[in-house]
A and B are shown apart, each in its own frame.
Chain A
Amino acid sequence: MRPLTFRKLFFQCFILAVILFFVVILALKFGAVPVSLYALGRDLLRVLLGQSSQISSDYGLIIQNIRFPRIILAVIVGASLSVAGTSFQALLRNPLADPYVLGVSYGAAVAAVLGLVAEPHLALPPALAALFTPLCAFIGAAATITAVYFLGRRQGQIESNTLLLGGVITGYFLSAIIVFLLSTVNSSNTRGMVFWLMGNLSTSFQKSVYWFLAAGFLLATGVIYASANDLNILLSGEKEAMHLGVDVRRVRFVVYVAASLLTGLAVSVSGAIGYVGLIVPHIIRLIFGSDHRTLLPTSALGGAIAMVIADTLARIVVAPNELPVGAVTAVVGAPLFIYLLRRRLA
């Protein structure tokens, strides 16, 4: 009987944060453009000292403007997907739930494809035009999640199985629409559209986008974390949770909205990257247990670590070309998931 203490939680998170730090350093080092650890350390020091103007070399610019933002994107997307996966698994009481099981990514993809088709006709200012597709994707994700929420409601209450099935069917429906869209729009445009179904972190964004993503992630994760204990109890069953003093309806709604926000943000900047939101929470559970007060922050860090590693692989395996990171996570994730499943059964 050793209760969770703040010190223990902090220690666990600290270990993962240190791992994440080293993974990020390695990710900064490896890439299409070679860079020495020394030069990297020197430039990092300069950035920390606020002298980033002294980084004049082309390599420095590449690291600063391309590689580093991309790693930050991987961190945020990985953490978001993991936290969303953890939340959906608790919320739907289904260990197979992941951020995409509710058809979110397909909703985002449909809207993104429509956005790509419409954007040339809209004469938007350049800065907005660059954001237009991600914005569309986010709206698509939000609309899908809202629709699935109402599909999953019965007599004013969310029913896990109905919601899950509703999400899966919505996903099939939307993927059919994507196939329809891809086969009707001009064929030369489809290559970029398929991106929304493969997952990709190579997109470059304005700086404000990263701040916005980080803020959205912290807000949504904070909201979910405030219900960490409620989620623990929800895992034992809804009826029980009700009798144990959990306001099941409110917790479900709040966590659903927050997890959806995380998913929407991730999808809108990276397309659909599978398996991270499914597998990372399971691995973290094996290591740190299933208490959501630990699970949520450690999953976030674990997801960030996994995503940075996956994206680094995507960058360097066929350098100077790239793989879609969704392919990397699927190739690594699917066998890993089967292993975890067998282990659970044994």
Chain B
Amino acid sequence: MRIGRGPATVIGSNSRKPGHPPLAQRPAPFARKGEAGSPRVSRGAFFVSGGISRRNRGGFLKKFLPSRLHPAAFAVLAVLTCAAAPAYAQSATHSSPEPPAFREVADELGRTIRIPQQVRRIVSLSPSSTETIYALGLQDRLVGDTDYCDYPADAQKKTKVGGATNPSLEVIASLHPDLVLVTKLNRLETTQSLAELGIPSYATDPHTVADILSSIKTLADVLGAPEAGASVVEDMQRRLDDLQRRLRDLPPKRALFVVWAQPLISTGQHTFLADALRRAGAVSIVNSSQDWPQVNLEEVARLQPDFLVFAESQPGNASREVQKLGTLPGWKIVHAVRDHRYAVISDAVNRPAPRIVSAIEELARQLHPEAFAEKAGDTKKETEKENPPARPLAFAPFSWNPPHSPHGHSSSTGGCLCGR
């Protein structure tokens, strides 16, 4: 489903019915602020422009400013005047009738936000939200994303608003988003500042893989693309179910997810990452309520994980890392390091977006190759059709030595569903 594709045709198309949203273009950055569909508060923020007719205003400013500067200049103006917003908003509460084009939704932090009926301009402040929007086919509504939004490749061409923790409010404001998507990567201050500018922000905060699915579904509803959402989530669910079926009778592998090796940082049990490991037929040896605990190496040597799991952004990093660790006395006594038992998956696993299912599948294939011995070709084809992985599955650096763990959790003795 594609919505609002292509350049907008008419600037003053704000009276059009929902479903055919135009994309406002640069020449009239403030034009849409006067329309019925925009939040009240933001009108307050830009009230200085009220007396001047739109067309004149653009021309007036154009005389003095190089055209490239417009968005930034307006954003400065917006920030400067935002202090006046609350007062204006209060007075407006009683006077103006509630525009029908508004609705209230609750986000995953439990905040109620008011957004236009039709969300036409979205800014994403995290790579995962960006990926979700692309998966939902709503990329044409995405008007801005962060420097780290690198997937799919097209996302890199969007207007960049800066990093996740320090996005430029001016750039965001200049993009006039109807909605900003935020996650835990972002700071609370950012959402507060956005609220002061009258820009609603919708937070997603999934803690399990199931959360990710429902989160995508809800977001799709909020963005007005329920069919796309249902289809994406259905596909994810189907692949996860398939995985669960294959791994059902296999004992889980005991894994250590290595976020950083020296010092050793892993992932806590209440994160979707830990849940992703479970879905891939692995269980994290780290039981911490912290999200990113620094783990004592002694504990790792005592628990002897079957596998180390690395999520890498650059191919080859993980194999180098394991070789490196193999030279250190402290790590040498970890059998998984000594025997080069490790799995490498795409760093999509770090992102609560549809692609995480591919990463889970990748991991499952490496941890339980026997479960995929038969139908590997089919599954792979399906995977690529719906949701192409970032790159070919990383089997290459994977050297298998039968683990001889002293704790009896040896994986090679585990049952195999699909026969050999």
The residues of A with any CB-CB pair to B shorter than 8 Å are 31-33, 58-59, 61-62, 65-67, 69-70, 120, 126-127, 129-130, 183, 186-188, 191-192, 195, 200, 202-207, 315, 319-324
Given contacts A61-B333, A204-B297, contact A321 B290 (CB under 8 A): yes
Given contacts A61-B301, A126-B326, A183-B163, contact A191 B292 (CB under 8 A): yes
**Smallest CB-CB separation from A31: which chain B residue?**
B298
Bound Cα distance A202, B164 (Å): 29
Interface presence of B77 (CB below 8 A) = no
Are A66 and B263 in contact (CB-based, < 8 A)? no
Are B164 and A192 in contact (CB-based, < 8 A)? no
Minimum CB–CB distance for A311 against chain B, Å = 11
Are A33 and B302 in contact (CB-based, < 8 A)? yes
Are B298 and A69 in contact (CB-based, < 8 A)? no
Interface presence of B148 (CB below 8 A) = yes
Bound Cα distance A193, B301 (Å): 24
Are B320 and A191 in contact (CB-based, < 8 A)? no
Contacts of B328 in A (CB 8 A): 130, 204-206
Interface presence of B8 (CB below 8 A) = no
Contact among B295, B326, B329 with A321 in the assembled complex (CB-CB below 8 Å)? B295
Contact among A70, A195, A206, A323 with B327 in the assembled complex (CB-CB below 8 Å)? A206
Contact among B185, B296, B331 with A315 in the assembled complex (CB-CB below 8 Å)? B296
Instruction: Other than A33-B302, A130-B325, give 8 A-B pairs with Cβ distance below 8 A.
Output: A31-B296, A32-B296, A32-B298, A66-B298, A126-B327, A204-B262, A315-B298, A320-B295
**Interface size for chain B: under 10, 10 to 19, 20 to 34, or 35 or more residues?**
35 or more
Are B263 and A183 in contact (CB-based, < 8 A)? no
Name B117-167 residues within 8 Å CB distance of A.
Answer: 148, 163-166
Bound Cα distance A175, B162 (Å): 21
**Smallest CB-CB separation from B289: which chain A residue?**
A321
Contacts of B304 in A (CB 8 A): 58
Minimum CB–CB distance for A270 against chain B, Å = 10
Are B320 and A202 in contact (CB-based, < 8 A)? no
Contacts of A59 in B (CB 8 A): 302
Contacts of B264 in A (CB 8 A): 202
Minimum CB–CB distance for B30 against chain A, Å = 31
Are B325 and A66 in contact (CB-based, < 8 A)? no
Are B320 and A322 in contact (CB-based, < 8 A)? no
Are A204 and B299 in contact (CB-based, < 8 A)? no
Contacts of A320 in B (CB 8 A): 288, 295-296, 298-299
Q: Which of A61, A202, A206, A315: most chain B Cβ within 10 A?
A: A202
Are B301 and A66 in contact (CB-based, < 8 A)? yes
**Smallest CB-CB separation from B290: which chain A residue?**
A321
Are A58 and B263 in contact (CB-based, < 8 A)? no
**Smallest CB-CB separation from B162: which chain A residue?**
A183
Are B331 and A204 in contact (CB-based, < 8 A)? yes
Are A69 and B327 in contact (CB-based, < 8 A)? no
Bound Cα distance A321, B295 (Å): 4
Are B320 and A192 in contact (CB-based, < 8 A)? no
Are B332 and A65 in contact (CB-based, < 8 A)? yes
Interface presence of B293 (CB below 8 A) = yes
Bound Cα distance A131, B384 (Å): 40
Bound Cα distance A58, B334 (Å): 10
- List 6 interface pairs A-B (beta carbons < 8 Å), by A numbering: A62-B302, A66-B329, A66-B333, A130-B325, A187-B164, A195-B260
The residues of B with any CB-CB pair to A shorter than 8 Å are 148, 163-166, 185, 259-265, 288, 290, 292-299, 301-302, 304, 311, 313-314, 316-317, 320, 323-333, 347, 350, 406
Contact among A32, A120, A187 with B314 in the assembled complex (CB-CB below 8 Å)? A120
Are A322 and B294 in contact (CB-based, < 8 A)? yes
Contacts of A206 in B (CB 8 A): 327-329
Contacts of B326 in A (CB 8 A): 126
In order of increasing CB-CB distance, the 5 nearest A-B pairs are A204-B330, A192-B260, A126-B323, A320-B299, A204-B328
Contacts of A127 in B (CB 8 A): 327
Contacts of A187 in B (CB 8 A): 148, 163-165, 185
Bound Cα distance A120, B297 (Å): 23
Bound Cα distance A58, B298 (Å): 10
Are B329 and A322 in contact (CB-based, < 8 A)? no
Contact among A183, A186, A207, A323 with B329 in the assembled complex (CB-CB below 8 Å)? A207
Contacts of A67 in B (CB 8 A): 298
Are B329 and A62 in contact (CB-based, < 8 A)? no
Are B298 and A33 in contact (CB-based, < 8 A)? yes
Contacts of B296 in A (CB 8 A): 31-32, 202, 315, 319-322
Are B165 and A322 in contact (CB-based, < 8 A)? no
Given contacts A66-B330, A120-B314, A127-B327, contact A323 B302 (CB under 8 A): no
Bound Cα distance A32, B163 (Å): 37
Contacts of A126 in B (CB 8 A): 320, 323-324, 326-327
Contact among A31, A65, A191, A200 with B330 in the assembled complex (CB-CB below 8 Å)? A65
Q: Which of A33, A69, A195, A204: most chain B Cβ within 10 A?
A: A204
Given contacts A186-B148, A191-B260, A321-B295, contact A120 B333 (CB under 8 A): no
Contacts of B288 in A (CB 8 A): 320-321
Given contacts A188-B350, A204-B328, contact A323 B294 (CB under 8 A): yes
**Smallest CB-CB separation from B316: which chain A residue?**
A120
Contacts of A65 in B (CB 8 A): 301, 329-330, 332-333
Contacts of B311 in A (CB 8 A): 188
Q: Which of A66, A187, A203: most chain B Cβ within 10 A?
A: A66
Minimum CB–CB distance for A310 against chain B, Å = 15
Given contacts A202-B264, A315-B296, contact A183 B165 (CB under 8 A): yes
Are A120 and B301 in contact (CB-based, < 8 A)? no
Are A129 and B313 in contact (CB-based, < 8 A)? no
Contacts of A204 in B (CB 8 A): 262, 297, 328-331
Minimum CB–CB distance for A342 against chain B, Å = 34
Contacts of B297 in A (CB 8 A): 66, 202, 204
Q: Which of B163, B263, B293: most chain A Cβ within 10 A?
A: B263
